[in-house]
């Protein structure tokens, strides 16, 4: 490493590497930071450089340690340490999860229905605290109780690689069976009277191209492949129908789907193909009384709900028409009614509907103008009361029971904030800000009502968050960590930019492929609109985003560096061109419908190159930047942020902070555990406060 001491940042050596496609050549001086043995990273020069960057991070942030500790303490004080979920009935038991005082991980409990609520009948079925003991990283992947309630299957990732090992135990005795399935990346589905378990393996390229059946008590070599997917861009998953009669095996990518049904009591039976895949058509399926219910975008981009007889599954008849106004995001079947979920003008809507009366529509009403609401855990077929979750930017997360017959909501629990929270001190608004092409972009903002007094008259600091990819909506939900900025005078805004599906499927399509740059322009234009409305000023805006949202961060600091006073990019997808050119990377083939295929399409190559943050780094002043990475991250590989930071160090013309922290024992989600992850948020906020000069 050139000139590396704790007084100066590490500069990675330049080792020019050139590649060509479509007659176009690209030189990448930092391609060497990808270990050729990945996913094993053993190259001493690479590890040495990452460790040097970590040392520089510690040197710069070490001075902020009192602030980080203070932020962590106040964030932790907002979490109820000894906490439990509201029990939910499933069969003969009530199930809930519980955190003990100081515990990073939860415990899973149950008790028989009708037994006293005094702890005497409580049964611990899974102890994450014990499972996580002695490992640097822990993540529970799947958990499933057998239908007879006697056995538990679960899976664990203990290094952040997102390859999970599944195990099975007898609940009553705690005996862990000899069955052990390494390398899973899926749910775990009990079938055939609990004698079999359906799962998917991650192949060598971290793709789930299969659905497999494991017979309990038999060796793994006897496992049966129920389905194999030959298209390398598709992923396979399995689930049970709501009535638990059918195993549903689905395959698809970001724009096309296909589903097969297999009797759950006879998983080796010939699968029923619902409808052969058709490019651009997505669908998902459930079944009731010989009728299939199909949620699909075949006739309208905002989806319709159709039905088909089980005997003729490809003959679809519309039940709920597709609509420009109502974006139908999903449905759930129950014995006596069904529920559809969607969004109207970007706000969540839940409707109860009836099989025997299509005209009878009963929306669940909520009190605020801007909020997030969704069905919670409703595991039984014959539900009469639905568990519903609700929150807003000023209202902590709440659990309700909704009585379908009386159409009434009963509050069960409100998220408790032990250090105190007074919602009346805060104000929220949902704005619309015009992007440069005239499109109105929704923005959710929250701030303290006394903010002007804190900051004086004029634009104070503002934090702007965005994502804008894969059709993932970022709802106006509640956050306890966010309060650490808002209580220091920040306004906090979420830009509902194109690329997400906040306003429907058209909103998503308007931010992908050839329309990708709308996402970046929307974010910049929202920031300028918030300045125009007096919320903040140029240079007083901190921004953050992760993964594809990290790509967003990279794009907007290239295009409009002067707007931002501090930038945090978590596991940022910034080396877009090189990644989309590498078909051997786990995610790449499945990502081409989202970004384009630059291997086959010259126009896609040129477009991606034109906005790829790494490729567009140029000599100019950049805002202060904090970057994170995970050595074991299979989604955004560690070398993307490492290369980006190396190139920025080389060419940027300013002396602003640029720091990179690589978690050497974690993956895409950063550190595990509810408090360990808070430490990383505390570091992020300490960096923002430092760079914006806000009293910590």
Active site residues: 547, 633, 668
Residue 101, number of CB atoms within 10 A of its CB = 8
Residues paired with residue 661 on neighbouring β-strands, in sequence order: 628
Contact 373, 366 (CB under 8 A): yes
Give yes or no for a contact between 187 and 567, defined as CB atoms under 8 angstroms apart.
no
238 three-class SS: strand
* CA trace torsion 374, 378, 382, 385 (10° rounding): -60
Provide the residue count of the chain: 696
Name residues whose C-beta falls within 8 Å of residue 270's C-beta, 6 or more positions apart in sequence.
none
3-state secondary structure of 601: coil
Cα-based angle 181, 184, 187 (whole degrees, multiple of 5): 105
372 — alpha (psi -120 to 50), left (phi > 0) or beta? beta
Q: Which two tokens stand for residue 82?
A: 């000894």
| Residue 402, number of CB atoms within 10 A of its CB | 22
Distance CA(397)–CA(414), nearest Å, equals 6
Tokens for 347, please give them. Answer: 């706000």
Residue 307: strand pairing partners: 293, 317
Are the beta carbons of 191 and 247 closer than 8 angstroms? yes
The closest alpha carbon to 293, from 278, 280, 279, 283, belongs to: 283
CB 386 within 8 A of CB 339: yes
Q: Among candidates 567, 520, 572, 524, which has minimal Cα distance to 546? A: 572
Taking a C-beta distance cutoff of 8 angstroms, is the pair 564, 464 a contact? Answer: no
Q: How far apart are CA 661 and CA 678, in angstroms?
A: 15
State the first-to-last Cα distance of the chain, in angstroms, to the nearest integer.
34
- CB-based contact 257:281 (threshold 8 Å): yes
Helix, strand, coil percent values for the chain (each to nearest 5)? 20, 35, 45
Question: Could you please report the per-residue DSSP string of 15-64?
Answer: --EEEEETTEEEEETTGGGS-TTTTS---HHHHHHHHHHHHHHHHHHHTT
Going by C-alpha positions, the residue among 658, 664, 599, 656 that lies closest to residue 631 is 664
* Residue that has been written with the tokens 């106004």 in this structure: 325
The greatest distance separating any two alpha carbons of the chain, rounded to the nearest whole angstrom, comes to 76
- Kindly state the tokens that stand for 250: 């689905």
CA 635 to chain centre: 12
d(CA 392, CA 153): 35
Cβ pair 158, 135 in contact under 8 A: yes
3-state secondary structure of 677: helix
Give the Å distances, CA to CA, from 512 to 52, 57, 517, 595.
36, 34, 8, 6
Question: By the 8 A CB rule, do 223 and 214 touch?
Answer: yes
């Amino acid at each position: 490493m050139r000139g590396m001491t704790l007084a100066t940042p590490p500069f990675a050596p330049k080792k020019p590497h050139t590649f060509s496609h479509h007659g176009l050549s690209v030189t990448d001086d930092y391609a060497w930071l990808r270990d050729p043995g990945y996913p094993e990273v053993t190259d001493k020069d690479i590890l040495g450089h990452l460790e040097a960057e970590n040392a520089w991070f510690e040197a710069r942030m070490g001075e902020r340690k009192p602030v980080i500790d203070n932020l962590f303490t106040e964030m932790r004080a907002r979490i109820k340490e000894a906490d439990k979920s509201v029990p939910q009935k499933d069969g003969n038991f009530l199930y809930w999860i519980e955190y003990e005082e100081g515990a990073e991980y939860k415990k899973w409990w149950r008790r028989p229905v009708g037994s006293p609520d005094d702890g005497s009948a409580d049964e611990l079925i899974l102890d994450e605290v014990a499972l996580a003991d002695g490992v640097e990283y822990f993540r529970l992947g799947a958990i499933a109780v057998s239908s007879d309630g006697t056995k538990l299957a679960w899976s664990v990732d203990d290094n952040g690689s997102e390859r999970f090992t599944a195990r099975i135990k007898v609940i009553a005795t705690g005996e862990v069976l000899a069955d052990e399935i390494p390398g899973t990346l899926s749910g775990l589905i009990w079938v055939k009277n609990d004698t079999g378990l359906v799962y998917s393996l991650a192949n060598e390229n971290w793709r789930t191209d299969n659905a497999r059946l494991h017979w309990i008590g038999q060796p793994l070599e006897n496992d049966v492949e129920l389905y194999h997917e030959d298209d390398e861009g598709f992923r396979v998953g399995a689930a049970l129908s709501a009535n638990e009669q059918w195993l549903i095996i689905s395959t698809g990518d970001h724009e096309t789907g296909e589903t097969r049904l297999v009797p759950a009591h006879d998983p080796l039976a010939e699968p029923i193909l619902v409808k052969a895949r058709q490019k651009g058509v997505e669908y998902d399926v459930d079944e009731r009384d010989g009728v299939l219910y199909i949620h699909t975008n075949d006739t309208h981009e905002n989806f319709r709900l159709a039905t088909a007889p089980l005997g003729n599954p490809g003959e679809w008849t519309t039940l709920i028409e597709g609509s420009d106004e109502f974006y139908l995001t999903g449905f759930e079947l129950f014995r006596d009614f069904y529920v559809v979920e969607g969004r109207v003008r970007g706000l969540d809507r839940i409707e109860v509907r009836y099989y025997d009366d299509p005209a009878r529509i009963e929306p669940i009403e909520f009190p605020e103008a801007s909020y997030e609401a969704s069905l919670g855990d409703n595991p039984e077929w014959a539900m009469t009361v639905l568990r519903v979750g609700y929150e807003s930017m000023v209202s902590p997360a709440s659990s309700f029971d909704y009585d379908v017959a009386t159409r009434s909501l009963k509050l069960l629990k409100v998220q408790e904030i032990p250090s105190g929270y007074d919602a009346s001190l805060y104000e929220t608004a949902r704005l619309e800000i015009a992007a440069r092409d005239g499109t109105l972009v929704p923005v959710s903002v929250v701030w303290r009502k006394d903010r002007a007094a804190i900051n004086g008259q004029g634009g104070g600091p503002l934090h702007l968050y965005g994502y804008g990819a894969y059709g993932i909506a970022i709802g106006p939900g509640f956050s306890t960590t966010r309060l650490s900025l808002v209580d220091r005078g920040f306004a906090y805004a979420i830009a509902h930019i194109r690329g997400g599906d906040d306003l429907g499927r058209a909103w998503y399509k308007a931010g992908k492929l050839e329309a990708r740059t709308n996402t970046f322009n929307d974010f910049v234009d929202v920031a300028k609109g918030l300045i125009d409305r007096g919320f903040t000023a140029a240079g007083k805006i901190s921004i953050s985003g992760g993964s594809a949202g990290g790509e967003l961060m990279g794009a907007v600091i290239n295009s409009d560096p002067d707007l931002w006073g501090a930038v945090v990019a978590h596991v940022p997808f910034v080396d877009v061109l090189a990644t989309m050119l590498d078909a051997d990377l786990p995610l790449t083939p499945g990502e081409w419908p989202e970004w384009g295929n630059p291997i086959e399409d010259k126009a896609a190559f040129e477009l991606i190159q034109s906005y790829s943050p790494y490729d567009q780094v140029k000599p100019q002043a950049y805002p202060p930047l904090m970057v994170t990475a995970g050595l074991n991250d299979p989604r955004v590989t560690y070398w993307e942020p490492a290369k980006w930071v190396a190139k920025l160090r080389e060419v940027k013309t300013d002396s602003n902070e640029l720091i990179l922290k690589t978690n050497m024992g974690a993956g895409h989600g950063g550190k595990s555990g509810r408090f360990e992850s808070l430490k990383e948020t505390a570091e992020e906020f300490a960096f923002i406060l430092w760079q914006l000069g806000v009293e910590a």
